[in-house]
């Protein structure tokens, strides 16, 4: 059944200093749905000057926000949650239209992942504490040290198109909670989900200028946000190559980088095979494989290889690919042409290297069929780099050491997963796989909103979610007291 969508054309503006304004460029750009190419709407093509205005507004508003009581900021976040819940269905439809994820996936992003951030930030703030050191290095018994945390200031939030509401709002909700002001720079194919966040914060009553949005190209708007000395921290989520570039232009400021992945899913010979098949279905094909935490390589023990591949192929054959707004659809299109080209390049490379295509392997427009490639080795592009498409590359191994070696041979280290019924094997794989998260007997493509999230190696810098992201977005301060000098 297709969702009924009013063909409303969205015509949105920049949000600077609490006002919805045009860009000083006077230009706008179009956003088209990857599902059918229809026009979703237009947003301004922002410029460096727009970013500078937004940073100035944020700098002023941050003082107001920081002076507010913790209780008041928590109340505003709870109000934002209620508003976001009320808008959830409309925001999910917009997200589905601009991103191309299925309506089921879009509803999950809005209601399961995004909206809880408001509450976690509000409640986490109340539990976010410093410390008093009653002991010091001094011989004096009159010395005390208080360690506290202060807002870091203005946070630039540069976000990707694959989780266009949830990802920027991890940083936004927690930044606002601790008293930072923010400037959003959304991905150009999915700006409306970030504009929806700004509308929620505006209606909730956050002080004008504490939330700003500048839409426009990454190379100008995004780069200015990073370069400008007025931003004190950058929360960037995107490709590793972009993140590496940002480290060169940021100067001395806090960088929280959530970058690419090439997650291994290890299937041992004692694994529950059916569960490991379901894990790969979610790991490889959720959001058409366009997830940083996707199972980008499926490492299968030689002893269970044939059974596993046969079952995975049968299950994959049942996936319905099509219109993302149709509730019966399991997998929608790729988000954009550049990503489709990359997926095609990885498929072509696998063909040239003699990979065996068990199913799929074709891309028409932005629609890629769910693909299983058997016989993949470490030289294949899809084994080395992030494919970001609905592809399950099957690699085989014979021992646990071999599995760990293959799992760790890419420059990435975001999320790994392993299936086994042995506690000892689970423990060794959990310790051996060099990733920020290792799921035992679960898919790569899941994360807990109350646990630290982030990558090893080229998958990123820092950790986010709950108190971990609050720590990244605050400065640690110590204040020392000498009690002998006071009354
Ligand atoms: P991207 O790097 O192309 O773009 C991300 C954002 O950066 C966009 O808003 C873009 O406009 C902006 N940008 C691009 N060039 C810039 C520049 N020179 N200066 C400043 N900003 C710039 O990434 P993408 O294609 O939007 O997203 C897909 C990538 O994101 C994948 O590699 C995926 O693994 C990664 N990702 C990582 C996580 C994570 O949590 N680790 C989550 C989701 C996505």
The closest residue, in CA terms, to atom 43 on ligand 1 is 292
On whether both 250 and 179 belong to a single domain, the answer is: yes
CATH code for the domain in which residue 60 is found: 3.40.605.10
* pLDDT for 187: 98
Q: Is 224 helix (H, G, I), strand (E, B) or coil?
A: helix
The string of pLDDT tens digits covering residues 254-290 is 999 999 999 999 999 999 999 999 999 999 999 999 9
Q: What is the pLDDT of residue 92?
A: 98
Q: Which atom of ligand 1 is nearest to the CA of 225?
A: 20
Best mutation site among 170, 218, 452 for ligand 1 pocket (most ligand atoms within 8 Å of CB):
218
How many residues does the structure list for the chain?
487
- Residue 7's contacts (CB-CB under 8 Å, 6 or more residues apart) are none
Q: Within a domain: residue 2? A: no
Ligand 1 center–CA 33 separation, angstroms: 19
Smallest CA separation from ligand 1 atom 28, residue: 238
- 150 burial (CB, 10 Å; 0-12 / 13-18 / 19+) is middle
**Of the residues 219, 234, 238, which should be mutated to test ligand 1's pocket, given the most ligand atoms within 8 Å of the CB?**
238
**Cα 434 to Cα 404, 431, 439, distances in angstroms:** 9, 8, 12
Residue with CA at minimum distance from ligand 1 atom 11: 218
The ligand 1 atom nearest the CA atom of 258: 41
For residue 31, being part of any structural domain is answered with yes
- Is the residue at 485 inside a domain? no
Q: Are 389 and 422 in contact (CB under 8 A)?
A: no
Give the span between the Cα atoms of 105 and 387, in whole angstroms: 20
Task: Write out pLDDT tens, residues 373-429.
Answer: 999 999 999 999 999 999 999 999 999 999 999 999 999 999 999 999 999 999 999
Domain co-membership, 238 together with 364: no
Q: For residue 290, how far is its CA from the centre of ligand 1 (angstroms)? A: 12
Specify the residue with its C-alpha closest to ligand 1, atom 5: 238
> 351 and 283 in one domain?
yes
CATH number, domain of 294, equals 3.40.309.10
The mean pLDDT value for 155-162 works out to 98
199 is catalytic: no
Ligand 1 mean position, distance from CA 241 (Å): 9
**Rounded CA separation 463/146 (Å):** 25
Per-residue three-class SS string for 370-385? CEEEECCCCCCHHHHC
Q: Quickly state the pLDDT bin for 102 (edges 50, 70, 90).
A: very high
User: Which residue's alpha carbon is nearest to atom 19 within ligand 1?
Assistant: 223
Same domain, 305 and 254: no
**Are 347 and 363 spatial neighbours (Cβ–Cβ below 8 Å)?**
yes
The protein residue whose alpha carbon is closest to atom 26 in ligand 1 is 160
User: Which of 96, 99, 292, 435 does the annotation list as catalytic?
Assistant: 292
Q: Which of 339, 242, 287 is nearest to 446 (CA)?
A: 287
In this model, does residue 135 exceed pLDDT 90? no
The whole-number pLDDT of residue 375 equals 98
- The protein residue with its alpha carbon nearest to ligand 1, atom 16, reads 218
Q: Does 109 reside within a domain?
A: yes
Q: Are residues 298 and 412 in the same domain?
A: yes
Q: How confident is the model at residue 22 (pLDDT cuts 50, 70, 90)?
A: very high
484 found inside a domain: no
CA 337/CA 436 separation, integer angstroms: 30
User: How far apart are alpha carbons 78 and 205 in whole angstroms?
Assistant: 11
Structural domains of the chain, count:
2
**Whether residue 24 lies in the annotated active site:** no
> Which percentage of the chain shows pLDDT scores above 70?
99
Q: Which of 29, 239, 289, 455 to mutate to test the pocket of ligand 1 (most atoms within 8 A of CB)?
A: 239
Separation of CA 164 and ligand 1 centre (Å) = 11
* Centroid of ligand 1 to alpha carbon of 225 (angstroms): 14
Tell me: do 268 and 253 sit in the same domain: no
Q: What is the CA radius of gyration of the chain?
A: 24
In the block, tokens 């094909």 appear at 285
20 & 113 share domain: yes
If one counts every other C-beta atom within 10 angstroms of the C-beta of residue 364, the result is: 9
Whether residues 163 and 290 fall in one domain: no
Of 224, 258, 464, 472, catalytic: 258
**Which residues make Cβ contacts (< 8 Å) with residue 325, sequence separation at least 6?**
2, 3, 5, 35, 93, 96, 97, 103
Check whether residue 333 and residue 321 sit in a common domain: yes
Q: What is the whole-number distance in angstroms between the Cα of residue 345 and the centre of ligand 1?
A: 19
Q: Which residue has the higher pLDDT, 2 or 75?
A: 75
- For residue 134, give its domain range: 10-259+459-477
Nearest to 124 by CA among 411, 471, 361, 482: 471
Alpha carbons 155 and 176: distance in angstroms, whole number: 10
Within 10 Å of residue 179's Cβ, how many Cβ atoms? 24
**202-238 pLDDT, tens per residue?**
999 999 999 999 999 999 999 999 999 999 999 999 9
pLDDT at position 332, please? 98
270 phi and psi angles, rounded to 5 deg: -105, 20
281 domain-assigned:
yes
- Which residues are near ligand 1 (CB < 6 Å)? 158-163, 167, 185, 187-188, 218-219, 222-223, 226, 237-239, 242, 245-246, 258-261, 292, 386, 388, 414, 455, 459-460
The verdict on 235 and 334 lying in the same domain is no
Helices assigned H by DSSP within 68-161: 70-99, 103-107, 116-126
Distance 261 CA to ligand 1 centre (A): 12
The rounded mean pLDDT for the chain is 96
Judgement on whether residues 340 and 429 belong to the same structural domain of the protein: yes
Widest Cα–Cα separation across the chain: 82
Using the mean position of ligand 1's atoms as its centre, give its distance from the Cα of residue 433 in Å: 25
- Residue from 79, 21, 99, 62 nearest 179 by CA: 62
In ligand 1, which atom is closest to the CA atom of 460? 41
Tell me how far CA of residue 103 lies from CA of 82, 109, 165, 202, 445, in angstroms: 21, 10, 14, 26, 18
Best mutation site among 216, 242, 243 for ligand 1 pocket (most ligand atoms within 8 Å of CB): 242
Beta bridge pairs of residue 416: 438
- In this structure, are 463 and 409 located in the same domain? no
Rounded CA-CA distance 461/476 in Å is 18
Q: What is the per-residue pLDDT across 292-316, written as a single tens digit (0 to 9) for each?
A: 999 999 999 999 999 999 999 999 9
Residue 1: pLDDT band by 50, 70, 90 thresholds?
low
Q: Give 331's contacts (C-beta < 8 A, 6+ positions apart).
A: 102, 285, 288, 319, 320, 321, 370, 390
DSSP one-letter string for 306-364: HHHHHHHHHHHTTPPB--TTBTT-SB---S-HHHHHHHHHHHHHHHHTT-EEEE---EE
Ligand 1 center–CA 443 separation, angstroms: 23
**Cα–Cα distance, 220 to 115 (Å, whole number):** 30
Asked if residue 92 belongs to a domain, the reply is yes
- Ligand 1 atom 39, closest CA: 258
> Separation of 485 CA from ligand 1 center, angstroms?
53
Q: C-alpha 348: how far from its chain's center?
A: 28
Write the residue with the smallest CA distance to atom 18 of ligand 1: 219
Dihedral sign, CA of 270, 272, 276, 279? Answer: negative
Asked if residue 453 belongs to a domain, the reply is no
> Which residue is listed with tokens 């860009």?
23
Q: Measured between alpha carbons, how far is 441 from 267 in angstroms, rounded to an integer?
A: 9
Protein residue with its CA nearest to atom 10 in ligand 1: 218
């Amino acid at each position: 059944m297709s969702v009924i969508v009013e063909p409303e054309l969205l015509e949105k503006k920049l949000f600077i200093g609490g006002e919805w304004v045009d860009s000083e460029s006077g230009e706008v750009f179009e956003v088209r749905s990857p599902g059918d190419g229809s026009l979703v709407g237009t947003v301004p093509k922002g410029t460096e000057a727009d970013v500078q205005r937004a940073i100035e507004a944020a700098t002023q508003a941050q003082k107001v926000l920081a002076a507010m009581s913790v209780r008041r900021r928590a109340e505003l976040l709870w109000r934002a949650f209620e508003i976001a819940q009320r808008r959830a269905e409309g925001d999910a439809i917009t997200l589905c239209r601009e991103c191309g994820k299925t309506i089921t996936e879009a509803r999950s992003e809005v209601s399961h992942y995004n909206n809880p951030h408001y509450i976690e930030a509000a409640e986490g703030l109340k539990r976010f504490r410093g410390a008093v050191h009653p002991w010091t290095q001094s011989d004096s018994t009159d010395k005390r040290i208080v360690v506290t945390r202060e807002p870091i200031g203005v946070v630039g939030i540069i976000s990707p198109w694959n989780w266009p509401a949830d990802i920027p709002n991890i940083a936004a909700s927690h930044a606002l909670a601790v008293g930072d002001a923010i400037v959003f720079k959304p991905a150009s194919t999915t700006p409306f989900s970030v504009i929806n966040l700004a509308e929620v914060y505006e209606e909730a009553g956050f002080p004008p200028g504490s939330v700003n949005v500048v839409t426009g190209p990454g190379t100008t708007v995004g780069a200015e946000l990073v370069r400008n000395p007025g931003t004190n921290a950058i929360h960037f989520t995107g490709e590793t190559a972009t993140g590496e570039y940002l480290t060169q232009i940021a100067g001395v400021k806090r960088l929280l980088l959530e970058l690419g992945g090439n997650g291994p899913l290890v299937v041992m010979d004692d694994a529950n095979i059916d569960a490991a098949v379901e894990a790969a279905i979610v790991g490889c094909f959720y959001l058409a494989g366009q997830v940083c935490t996707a199972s980008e390589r499926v490492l299968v023990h030689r002893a269970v290889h044939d059974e596993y591949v046969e079952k995975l192929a049968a299950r994959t054959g049942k996936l319905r690919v099509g219109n993302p707004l149709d509730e019966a659809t399991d997998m929608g299109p790729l988000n954009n042409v550049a990503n489709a080209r990359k997926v095609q390049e990885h498929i072509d490379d696998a063909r040239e290297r003699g990979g065996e295509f068990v199913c799929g392997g074709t891309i028409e427009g932005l629609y890629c069929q769910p693909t299983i490639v058997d016989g993949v080795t470490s030289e294949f592009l899809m084994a080395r780099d992030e494919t970001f498409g609905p592809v399950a590359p099957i690699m085989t191994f014979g021992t646990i050491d071999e599995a760990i070696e293959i799992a760790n041979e890419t420059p990435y280290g975001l999320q790994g997963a392993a299936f086994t019924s042995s506690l000892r094997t689970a423990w060794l794989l959990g310790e051996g796989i060099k990733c920020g998260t290792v799921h035992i007997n679960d898919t790569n493509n899941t994360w807990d909103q109350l646990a630290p999230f982030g990558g090893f190696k080229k998958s990123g810098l820092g950790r986010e979610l709950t108190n971990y992201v609050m720590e990244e977005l605050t400065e640690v301060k110590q204040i020392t007291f000498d009690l002998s000098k006071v009354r």
